[in-house]
Amino acid sequence: MEKSALISIVISCYNDSKYVEQAVYSALDQTYVNKEVIVIDDGSDEETKAVLKRLEPKITKLITQDNKGQSAARNRGIQEAMGEYILILDSDDYFDSTFIEKAIVFFGDNEVKIVTCQARLLFDDNSSYIYIPPGGNMKNFLINNGALGTSLFKKQGWYDCGGYDEGMREGFEDWEFFIRILKDGGVTEVIQEPLYMYRKRSNTTTARANKVKYRLLNYIYLKHRELFIAHFDDFVFQLLQKVEGEETEKIKNTQRVEFKVGHTILKPLRWIKKCLK
pLDDT at site 262: 58
Among 78-87, 153-162, 256-265, name the one with the lowest average pLDDT.
256-265
Residues ≥6 apart with Cβ < 8 Å to 161: 177, 180, 181
> CA angle, 258 as apex, 253 and 264 as ends, to 5°?
105
Q: Is residue 85 part of a domain?
A: yes
Q: Is residue 2 part of a domain?
A: no
| Residues 25 and 113 reside in one and the same domain | yes
- When pLDDT is averaged across residues 147-157 and rounded to a whole number, the result is 97
pLDDT at 141 over 90: yes
Q: Is residue 192 part of a domain?
A: yes
- Total Cβ atoms within 10 A of residue 242: 12
pTM of the model: 0.87
Handedness of CA 145, 149, 151, 154 (dihedral sign): positive
| Residues 216 and 259 reside in one and the same domain | no
pLDDT at site 247: 85
| Residues 264 and 222 reside in one and the same domain | no
- When pLDDT is averaged across residues 114-125 and rounded to a whole number, the result is 94
- Three-class DSSP category at 134: coil
Rounded Cα distance, 132 and 190, in Å: 8
| Residues 127 and 213 reside in one and the same domain | yes
Write the pLDDT tens digit of every residue in 3-22. 689 999 999 999 999 999 99
| Residues 151 and 246 reside in one and the same domain | no
pLDDT at site 125: 86
pLDDT at site 231: 94
Identify the H or E element spanning 114: strand 112-123
| Residues 221 and 264 reside in one and the same domain | no
| Residues 130 and 262 reside in one and the same domain | no
pLDDT at site 203: 62
Instruction: Considering only residues 180 and 262, tell me which one the structure prediction assigns the higher pLDDT.
Output: 180
- Beta-strand runs (E) in 169-213: 187-200
pLDDT at 265 over 60: yes
pLDDT at site 211: 82
Among 80-84, 141-145, 233-237, 240-244, name the one with the lowest average pLDDT.
240-244
- Residue 211: domain span: 7-230
Write the pLDDT tens digit of every residue in 20-66. 999 999 999 999 999 999 999 999 999 999 999 999 999 999 999 99
Instruction: Considering only residues 197 and 209, tell me which one the structure prediction assigns the higher pLDDT.
Output: 197
Count of domains forming the chain: 2
User: Residue 70 maps to which CATH number?
Assistant: 3.90.550.10
Q: Is residue 184 part of a domain?
A: yes
| Residues 243 and 153 reside in one and the same domain | no
Q: Is residue 110 part of a domain?
A: yes
pLDDT at 200 over 90: no
- When pLDDT is averaged across residues 104-128 and rounded to a whole number, the result is 94
| Residues 158 and 261 reside in one and the same domain | no
| Residues 205 and 95 reside in one and the same domain | yes
pLDDT at site 96: 98
Between the two ends of the chain, the Cα-to-Cα distance in Å is: 70
Q: Is residue 1 part of a domain?
A: no
| Residues 50 and 118 reside in one and the same domain | yes
Rounded Cα distance, 168 and 67, in Å: 14
Amino acid at 12: S
Write the pLDDT tens digit of every residue in 227-250. 999 999 999 999 999 888 888 887
| Residues 195 and 251 reside in one and the same domain | no
Are the CB atoms for 200 and 159 separated by under 8 Å? Answer: no
Q: Is residue 151 part of a domain?
A: yes
The closest alpha carbon to 89, from 150, 42, 144, belongs to 150
